[in-house]
Every structure is written in C-alpha cells, then in structure tokens.
Amino acid sequence: MNNSLNKYPVKIGDSSEGLNFYFVSKGKSAVIKVVNCGFVAKIRGEDIYNFGFGDFDMHSHRIVDSVVTENGDAIKVFNTVLSTVPLFFERFPNDKLIVKGSDSRAGFENDCKPTCRKNCKLDQCRKANQRIRIYRNYVDKNFEILNTEYRFFGGYTDFHGNDCEEDYVRGKDYISVSLVKRNV
Amino acid sequence: MEKEQKQKDAMVRVPEEALLSLVASVLKDKVLFPEKIEDVRRYLQRLQPVGR
C-alpha cells in the first residue's frame, strides 16, 4: 500500500476482535499510536473489518480518535498507518477492510455545530468527512498502482437517502472507502 | 516523606518494544472503537451494492 521509507516500525498484535498495530510517533513528543482492524460483521459472505486509528491514552487505556495530535510528523504517521494495510491482508487475504472517518458518522454535523468556529452554511459542515478525504486523496493519486493489487469500493448516499456502494471512481466524493485484495 | 514521594514520581525509561508490548497486552481482545464499530455495522447493513 505504501512503500515509503519514511515510516515508523510497527508492532503487530493479535486480538480476538481483529488485528492491531502499534507504533510510537516521535514528533514534538512521543505518542503511542494504534491502528485497529476491528471485526465488524459478516455481510453477504464477506468478513468485514473496520480500519480505525488513534492515540493510546496512558491514563484511561483507551484509544482517542477524535483529536488532531499535531505532533509534527503527520506524513510519517500517515505512511505508517498505510503500511499496515498489506500486513492486514497477509493475515486476512479473503476479507474486506472499510474506512469511514469518525467525522463521517451520522449526526456529526449536529454535534460539531455548537462548538465549531467555522461559519458553515446549513448542511455544509466543512469539518465533516475530512478524514475520509485524506484516504480518498491518497487512493486517487495512486489509483493505477493500487488498483492492480486491490479492488476498491466507494460508499455514498444517493438522492433518496440510500447508502450505496459502487466500484471506486477516482475523484468522487465518497463517505467510505473499502477494499479487498485481488487474487494476483 | 518528601523523598519517598519523589521516588514514587520518578520517571523510568522503558524500551520502545517493551512499551508497545505492554500496550498490546492491555488492549488485546478489547473492542477498541465500540461506537465506531457499531456505526459501521449499521452502515454496512444499509449499504446497497450498485452496478456490480
């Protein structure tokens, strides 16, 4: 997925709930990061895992995915997060991985409004779907290479309010991205 | 007394590998994003494949 050398080494951790990856972001401070491929459901014969990522909180022992860490090493962290995708498919070659940002959930706009400083117009929350956009941009930029190894799908809400998924189209405004490994 | 408190607060240096192993053992078998997993589960149940 990402062969950049500018990434942190990861530790793989098995879990009955899926697969976890751990690494330390060494920017302005040291932050323990956790990538979680958590089992969601078996749907239409496919085991589907959610691709989640956040900071480990030493005090609460929980993962926080709603904050922007601003540790000064965002590209290196992003490269590291992406580098875990092939590792996931080594373990689960026939399963599906889905990415849906924490700011793409239903009701995000309403939760954002009371504390947001941006003066967004109605139904045009600028903070919504920011996280999935980062992944989409990466897929869009590298689609030709990635598409040889993975089959991508994009999720969107149609005019009738139905959630739909189609074969990924570059540049389209998706709220989720999922992928399976091609049998090459 | 004060010295005892200082000793309690003293920082220890833990090798990165050991620290990550410790975190891995704490998080092993836990659902790390329960709300997110539930949100995605509901989303997937609604999701209709199109044009395949």
pLDDT higher than 90, residue A2? no
Residue A71, token pair as written in the block: 């540790």
Q: What is the pLDDT of residues A108-140, one digit of tens each?
A: 666 666 777 677 766 666 666 778 899 999 999
Phi-psi region of A72 (alpha: psi -120 to 50; beta: other; left: phi over 0): left
A178: nearest CA in chain B?
Answer: B44
The alpha carbon of residue B5 is apart from the nearest alpha carbon of chain A, in Å, by 20
Query: Which chain B residue is nearest to residue A26, measuring alpha carbons?
Result: B16
pLDDT of residue B14: 82
| Predicted ipTM of the assembly | 0.84
Query: Is residue B21's pLDDT more than 90?
Result: yes
Position with higher pLDDT, A147 vs A119: A147
CA A71 – CA A79 distance, rounded (Å):
15
Assign B41 a pLDDT band (cuts: 50, 70, 90): very high
Mean pLDDT of A69-94: 93
Q: Which residue of B has its CA nearest to A175?
A: B43
Residue with tokens 């990635």: A146
A88 — pLDDT class (breaks 50, 70, 90): very high
Reported residue count of chain A is 184
CB contact under 8 A, B48 and A162: yes
Out of B30, B40, B50, closest to residue A40 by CB: B40
- Cβ atoms A65, A52 nearer than 8 A: yes
DSSP H stretches of helix in chain A: 74-91, 108-112, 130-141, 143-149
